[in-house]
Amino acid sequence: MKLKAFAKINLGLDVIGRREDGYHQVRMIMQTIRMFDQLEIEKSRKPGIRLSVNLPYVPADAGNLVYRAASLMMEEFSLPQGLDIRLNKFIPVAAGMAGGSSDAAAALVGINRLFGLGLSRGELMERGLKLGADVPYCIMRGTALAEGIGEKLTRLSPLPPCYILIGKPGVSVSTKYVYTNLKLDETTVHPDIDGMVAALKAGDLTGVTEKMGNVLESVTIPRYPVIEKIKDLMKETGALNALMSGSGPTVFGIFDDREKARQAQQRLRESRLARQVFLAEAFHNGGTEDDQ
């Protein structure tokens, strides 16, 4: 079984408050993009889970969400056979693009198919929540409004056709640090999430990009000013807008013209501001089996 685990960006990320259990209440517009890790899952007569990863610094044991997803399914359904799993990572690690969550989502989907367990997408999403707040969305994919701690999902009208430039600087950001240091008060600038939902419904790309915003930038950018520099370069080279994804440090810019996007990609590479630079498009549900 071969699967693609697609990355996501946050077109809008708002934090409304903090719950008594320490989790933050969010309202986010999530978008899957055509950048993906590859997962190969194979049944084995030898019991247990064997996970191999193409990157030496990514754990290949219970510290990896793929391993934990496989364990969850094998224990719940008492699967007698073992699993050999190969994970080839291309999505930047610790980048605010839900790479680990998407890998876990792909593992759940793949094991469900491989063993013919017959779980619906909703049932897989319920299990995904036990692994992380982003995992249900990574099973659902497409354009969606995420609320609560990120687990309450509403499918939205798709993002209009565009080109998405991704730039990840050579820094790693702790999500825990960002949320711990986030201060919400009367001066906080909240993105217009409802306005973005309406613009998506109207198929208005400019209306979406004009309203893009991420409250976590108020924490991450002062600590890592290179994020602002990448945003500025993308906007200078033709992006309708640029934004940090998730808690960072990845930045994405949205372009309505492929040639402009390619030129901006070249400029960003030459600037050396970003260590990893990719050009992608939005992923929408309803693709081929190869997209699963």
Which residue among the candidates 14, 37, 134, 231 is catalytic per the annotation? 134
Write a three-state SS string for the chain.
CEEEEEEEEEEEEEEEEECCCCCEEEEEEEEEEEEEEEEEEEEECCCCEEEEECCCCCCCCCCCHHHHHHHHHHHHCCCCCEEEEEEECCCCCCCCCCHHHHHHHHHHHHHHHHCCCCCCHHHHHHHHHCCCCCHHHHHHCCEEEEEECCCEEEECCCCCCCEEEEEECCCCCCHHHHHHCCCCCCCCCCCCHHHHHHHHHCCCHHHHHHCCEECCHHHHHHHCCHHHHHHHHHHHCCCCEEEECCCCCCEEEEECCHHHHHHHHHHHHHHCCCCEEEEECECCCCCCHHHC
Establish whether 8 is a catalytic residue.
yes
Establish whether 84 is a catalytic residue.
no
Q: Given the structure tokens 């933050």, which residue do they identify?
A: 24
Positions marked catalytic: 8, 134
